[in-house]
Amino acid sequence: MLLKAALLAALPLATSICFDTNSNSSFSVGSNFSFAGLPISASLLPAAEAKNSQKNTTDPAMKNTKLGKQLFEKGDYDLAIDALLQATYFARNGYAPEAFYYLGKCYMAKSEYLKAYDALKKHLAQNVSGEGWGNVAMVETLTALKRFNEAPPFVAFALKGAPYQSPIYCAAQVANAKLYEAQNDFSPACDYYRNALGDRPWTYFDAWIGFGECLMKMKNWSEAYKYLDEMLTTRQTIKGLNYERVHLDLGICLLAKGNHQGAIDHWHQCLEYNHDNKEAHLQLAMILDAENHISSAIKEYRNFVRLCDDPKNFAPDKAIRSKQVETRIALLEEKLNSAGPAPRAQMTPYMLMQEKKAEQDRIRQEQQEQQRQQEEQMKSLPKDAGF
């Protein structure tokens, strides 16, 4: 008995415990196991040992990872981050590569790139699946952080063994294109976007729009317009096709070529898809300003400022751009209020059409009013001759 008591007292210092292999039941509180050949009840374990046995469990880690992934796909990034951090906390030995990947993607979506870098670094250190999505995300993160020299190895890792035109191959090519584009090296960027597009028919929107916009940055307006317009005329289904973005770009191409009316038409089409596209409002404001349509220009400028003030329209330089536009609005308002008649604005075909439509509406309303008055007069006439 004295020997058994001494062994029990030394239990917290023990480094190994042998479970009773003769029992077919799973271990639970109250089960018996042996220490140095002596049977001991599990209820005698220290409280700290029991607490730690509950922390590093697979089940809550997996559940929180699954929940975090679902919340990320729904765009609820804050709640997703909470769930994914719980997953990494519960994971045994901190091993949670999938949780760290989605944690990095959530931070990227919130533009918190330093946190994204740390999470993706842990993911890549733990990942054994061989998939390259973590490497693609790391390239995008390093590009956003302007740590360009660190990115190329991750591009190579992502492309290693990737089949031609597979999703990971295309995504890695686009990430590499954006890396060069961020360094204002547009020619290789165009090449990598073209690689991502692969063989025709093209259906990859991110690569296609990137290719067109890269040509625009090279001021190759005709080629850019051709490829962008093709997106609207192809019979192929383009997953994720953003019509408002395409129309915005097409308008800019036509403006650069001198086709003001064509540009205006595309920007109005852009606003039909999204009335709160602030860039379309700004482009319209500038072209109306250039054509001396001051009141209309002020209206579009004000729309741009209003949308810049909306927290949803996050942009690092939005405060600067908004202030510049407000300065321009003040100058235009001063011009309107200044003495002397304002010069006659040059009427574009679109403005002439709107003016003609307004005149037709005015004439129609006058005719309807005259008809209504005639009907009222007829009602007031006597029903008989009065004899």
Residue 163, preceding peptide bond in cis (omega within 30° of 0): no
* pLDDT (average), residues 205-224: 97
* pLDDT (average), residues 11-21: 40
Per domain, the residue ranges of the chain are 53-126, 130-185, 200-263, 276-311+318-337
Residues 330-374: pLDDT tens digits?
A: 999 998 888 455 555 566 666 677 777 777 877 888 778 777 776
Q: Residue 327 and residue 343: Cα distance in Å, rounded? A: 22
Residue 167, preceding peptide bond in cis (omega within 30° of 0): no
Q: Residue 223 and residue 201: Cα distance in Å, rounded? A: 18
Structure tokens of 294? 């001051």
pLDDT for residue 370 = 74
pLDDT for residue 265 = 97
What's the CATH class of domain 53-126? mainly alpha
pLDDT surpassing 60 at residue 375 = yes
**String of DSSP letters for 273-296:** H-TT-HHHHHHHHHHHHHTT-HHH
Q: Report which of 204, 148, 209, 216 is spatially closest to residue 180, judged by C-alpha positions.
A: 148
| Percent of the chain whose pLDDT exceeds 90 | 66
Predicted TM-score of the model (pTM): 0.71
Q: Are strands 38-41 and 32-35 parallel, antiparallel or unpaired?
A: antiparallel
The answer to whether 103 and 85 have CB atoms below 8 angstroms apart is: yes
User: In 11-34, which positions are buried (b, 16+ CB within 10 angstroms) versus exposed (e)?
Assistant: eeeeeeeeeeeeeeeeeeeeeebe
Q: Residue 299 and residue 87: Cα distance in Å, rounded? A: 50
69 contacts: CB under 8 Å, gap ≥ 6: 80, 98, 102
